[in-house]
Amino acid sequence: MINKVILVGRLVKDPELKYLEDGKAVTSITLAVNRNFKNQNGDYDTDFLNCTLWKKNAENTANYCRKGSVIGVTGRIQTRSYDNNDGQRVYVTEVIAEGVKFLSTKKEALV
Amino acid sequence: MINKVILVGRLVKDPELKYLEDGKAVTSITLAVNRNFKNQNGDYDTDFLNCTLWKKNAENTANYCRKGSVIGVTGRIQTRSYDNNDGQRVYVTEVIAEGVKFLSTKKEALV
Amino acid sequence: MINKVILVGRLVKDPELKYLEDGKAVTSITLAVNRNFKNQNGDYDTDFLNCTLWKKNAENTANYCRKGSVIGVTGRIQTRSYDNNDGQRVYVTEVIAEGVKFLSTKKEALV
Amino acid sequence: MINKVILVGRLVKDPELKYLEDGKAVTSITLAVNRNFKNQNGDYDTDFLNCTLWKKNAENTANYCRKGSVIGVTGRIQTRSYDNNDGQRVYVTEVIAEGVKFLSTKKEALV
DNA sequence: TTTT
DNA sequence: TTTT
């Protein structure tokens, strides 16, 4: 089946790089993506989309991006669930990045 | 900014059509989208993705699709949050459909 | 930069598999993709989009698909140019497939 | 069927705005999109992709963008053919923009 | 938990 | 709450 996502948005905070026990790099980021159309009050809502980056994508993003950086992410939507402390099932939907593109001000980021 | 999603998957149950007070048609569906790669146990996981359809898209899907139907959805990811009965904030991520395509067996569905 | 294409359409003829001198498998297919909106005469135009598939994607498509098969292709748009026999420069735009999904009638194709 | 394209690239020259006899605004632009992977010589090729913009998208792009501006385009691939002066059939593939996003340096362009 |  |  097909599952493709393409996002361009801004980092809501500095990315934090972690390493799993097996040495794999991971970073979880949240992208603020402003909508292109106005709501009933006449202003633009924004969606806050969680993305998970792996390996080189994780390391590069942690190295080159900061809160406010504009980033393009291509990937897929993934769902998972877990039981929280209150014994309730929590459903999580996030974007798993397959590619990342740095689009911020600095010219070199745009190559 | 950019926020695009393209999915092809199967309906996990019959779609239920509702009408809001203002007369607008809505349908919430869940698409089962099998992944194209195997997990560590050697089988294919599937993601269950909630999509919201509006107006003609909602009505047509309710009329022409059933549990198991293969559907293509194009749209965007949206986030929203609400407080549940226990006073906890719940975060919801769903796909808002802009286009829907019926891809099931019956030839006429594929036009 | 970002360059993503997602198509679902029908094969206009049986795919022909070739092998390059280095042993790499290639298949060039044309997808007929019906538009979702009517032209001024009230009928649906269709776009005929050339796609190039490599390796396993090429071999599987040649093995499992025929004229009329419904196929999903994800990939990127590529441009190239060459000089034809009359010494004229010809510009070619085609889709390079990164993933292929068989969506035809037969149930097993849809896994 | 499904036909979706998402591009982020740079304008290769200033956009030229035209108006058809019926008053509709059109702009044809070419986006230079650098590939994310190296060719056999170790450098990055770039694809030059023709896009056609209509109405407000055409006017805004002509007003706010210049050669070198970074632009996001979402839309579909379209094919058409015509006979050139030498009586030869020429096939054209281009991207018809449905949405445009200005991503250049100037902060305000990124809202 | 939210960016310009 | 999960489809083939």
Predicted confidence at residue A76, as pLDDT, reads 97
Per-residue pLDDT 10s for chain D (111 aa) are 999 999 999 999 999 999 999 999 999 999 999 999 999 999 999 999 999 999 999 999 999 999 999 999 999 999 998 998 888 888 899 999 999 999 985 544 554
Q: Is the CB of B9 under 7 A from strand F?
A: yes
Is B79's CB less than 7 Å from nucleic acid strand E? yes
Asked if C42 contacts C60 with a C-beta cutoff of 8 angstroms, the reply is no
The pLDDT tens digits for C2-50 are 999 999 999 999 999 999 999 999 999 999 999 999 999 999 999 999 9
Interface test with D, best of C77, C78, C81 (most D CBs within 10 A): C77
Residues ≥6 apart with Cβ < 8 Å to C56: C25
> What is the tens place of the pLDDT at every residue in A3-38?
999 999 999 999 999 999 999 999 999 999 999 999
Chain D contact present for B101, CB below 8 A: yes
- What DSSP string describes D6-62? EEEEEESS--EEEE-TTS-EEEEEEEEEEEEEE-TTSSEEEEEEEEEEEHHHHHHHH
Could you give the 3-state DSSP secondary structure of residue C105? coil
Q: How far is CA B74 from CA A4, B4, B94, D36, D79, in A?
A: 10, 7, 12, 25, 21
Question: 10 Å Cβ neighbour count for C14?
Answer: 13
**Is the Cβ pair B8, C101 closer than 8 Å?**
yes
Report chain A's mean pLDDT, rounded to a whole number: 91
Threshold 0.85, pTM exceeds: yes
Residue lying closest to nucleotide F2, CA to C1': B12
pLDDT recorded at residue D91: 85
pLDDT in tens, A35-94: 999 998 999 999 999 999 999 999 999 999 999 999 999 999 999 888 888 787 888 999
Compute the half-sphere exposure of residue C45: CA atoms within 13 Å on the CB side of its CA.
Answer: 12
Q: Can you name the residues that pair with C49 across neighbouring β-strands?
A: C31
D6 and B1 within 8 Å at the Cβ level: the answer is: no
Please state whether strand F lies within 7 Å of residue C101 at its CB atom: no
- C-chain CB neighbours of B8 within 8 Å are 8, 72, 101, 103
State the Rg of chain C over Cα: 15
pLDDT tens for residues B11-68? 999 999 999 999 999 999 999 999 999 998 999 999 999 999 999 999 999 999 999 9
β-pairing, C25-38 vs D25-38, is unpaired
Tokens of C5: 């294409």
* Contact list, A2 vs chain C (CB under 8 Å): 6, 8, 72, 74, 99, 101
What HEC string does A54-81 produce? Answer: EHHHHHHHHHHCCCCCEEEEEEEEEEEE
What is residue A21's predicted lDDT score, i.e. its pLDDT?
A: 93
pLDDT at D84: 87
The pLDDT-based confidence of C107 (bands split at 50, 70, 90) is: very low
